[in-house]
Amino acid sequence: MSIKELAKKMTAAEVDNYAVDRFAELMKAKLAKKRAQGYGGWVDSTPQHLSKLLIEHIEKGDPVDIGNFSAFLSCLDAPIISNNAENYYEAYVMECPVCYSTLRLPAEIKPDGTVDCSLGNRFCLRCKTVLHMNYRKDINMVVADSVKETNKN
C-alpha cells in the first residue's frame, strides 16, 4: 500500500510519525552497514567536516545519508556550515550552568583575531533552560550571562 493510500486512513500526526519512524529505520540500517565497512567516529568530528560531508552527499542524492549527517550535526548542537564560511572553526564548547551538559556554539574567527560565537539566547535541550550567551573579552570566553528557567512540563 502506498503512503498516499495509508494517509487516507491516518491522522496528520500518524502520517508524520510514520514518515519519521520509517526514515529512522532506514537511517539505522544505513549506519549499521557503514559501521560494518569501518566507518564511524562522527562524535569526534568537527561540525565543519560533517557539514562538508553532508553537502557532498546532497549532490549524491541519497536522503538517508543526508538525514544521518543532519542527525549528527543536530546531536552536536551545531549548524550546517557552508563551504563558503572560510573562517569557521570547530564550535565553541561550554557547559550548561544548570545541568552541566555540553553546549556547542558556532564560532567564527574575526580578522582582528577575536571570536564571534553567534551569540544570543540558546536553549539547553537536556534541562529545557534558556541561556543568554555573552562573549566576555576580558576573559576571552563565552559565558551564560543570565539564565532563565523555562516551564519544565
User: Tens of pLDDT along 57-103?
Assistant: 888 889 999 999 999 998 888 888 765 444 444 445 566 777 776 66
pLDDT tens digits, residue range 105-147? 555 555 555 555 555 556 666 776 666 666 565 655 555 555 5
- Taking a C-beta distance cutoff of 8 angstroms, is the pair 134, 117 a contact? no
Q: Which amino acid is at 33?
A: K
Average pLDDT value for residue range 4-20 = 91
Q: How many CA atoms lie within 13 A of 139 on its CB side?
A: 6
How many angstroms separate the CA atoms of 115 and 135, rounded? 8
What pLDDT is attached to residue 71? 95
What pLDDT is attached to residue 127? 72
Burial of 125 (0-12, 13-18, 19+ CB in 10 A): middle
Average pLDDT value for residue range 2-26 = 92
pTM surpassing 0.85?
no
- Grid cell locating 27: 537511517
**142 vs 31, residue with greater confidence:** 31
